[in-house]
Structures are given as C-alpha cells and as structure tokens.
A = this chain, B = another copy of it.
Amino acid sequence: MKYIEKLRNSGLRPTKQRLQICEVLFDTEKTFHFTINNLANKIKKQLNNKISLATIYNTVHAFEKKGYLKQIPINSNQTYFDTNVSDHHHFYDLKEEKLIDLDNSDVGPINILKKVNGKKIKSIEVLVKLED
C-alpha cells in the first residue's frame, strides 16, 4: 500500500480509516476542493464501511497539519479544504458557490513591499471573487 509509508514517515499510524481516507482524497486524477460534509458523503458512497464523522475531522486536521491538505481562506459557514497543496490561488464563483483553481502562472508575481518586524511571510493567498 502506497500510503502506509507516507503516513508512518509523518508519525501517523496507518490505520484502516486513514488509508481509506487517503484513497478517497489522493487516488484521483485531479485535485479537488471539499468540505467535511462533502468528504463524508464521498466516503459513504465510495466505501462499504462507515467511518465516524469525528474520525473524518481528526484525519483531515492531521493531514492538514502534515501538509497533505490545505485550508482555503474563504468566508463560508463551512471550512473548505484543497487536495492541491502546491502554491496556487482561487477564483470563487459567488453565484455557484464554487471554487476554481488559479495556477500561480495565471496570477502575475506578487510583491509584498511592506515588512513586519520579526515576522516572515508563510504564505500568500489570493481570492478572486467572480460575479455574473
């Protein structure tokens, strides 16, 4: 199993639930955006056994902390995650309430001219809201 080592190397035990969630998240051709609710439904459809909601929350947070998932900063009642952890940005279609990836090359280089004492930049995230 290709995810066993990945998990072990991160200090996460490769449990059955984590491996199955890995399959749902990472065994896809394309990366995708999801909420916990989305993911829970996907798991229910794709898998025969049940995974507790608490475990899904735990696992998603564990994966995020390890850098296998990214949270997308957006105002919504639900938290959005992205399986694409490469440096990139998002369109947000306000009408459809849908996120669309923006490659880094789709957004010109961003120069932050202001400095904050003793702090360094961890990430730069651009959200482009779309309307009709």
Contact = CB atoms under 8 A, between A and B. Distances in A.
Give the interface residue-count category, chain A. 35 or more
Contact of A108 (B94, B113, B123, B126): B113
A54 interface: no
Interface stretch (A27-35, A44-52, A71-79): A71-79
A123 B128 CA distance: 6
Give the number of times this chain occurs in the complex, counting copies: 2
Given A108-B111, A109-B108, A124-B126, A118 B132 contact: yes
A108 to B, nearest CB: 4
A52 to B, nearest CB: 22
Contacts of A105: 113
B129 A123 contact: yes
19 contacts: A71-B75, A73-B73, A73-B74, A91-B114, A91-B116, A100-B116, A108-B108, A108-B111, A119-B130, A119-B132, A120-B131, A120-B132, A124-B126, A124-B127, A124-B128, A125-B126, A125-B127, A125-B128, A125-B129
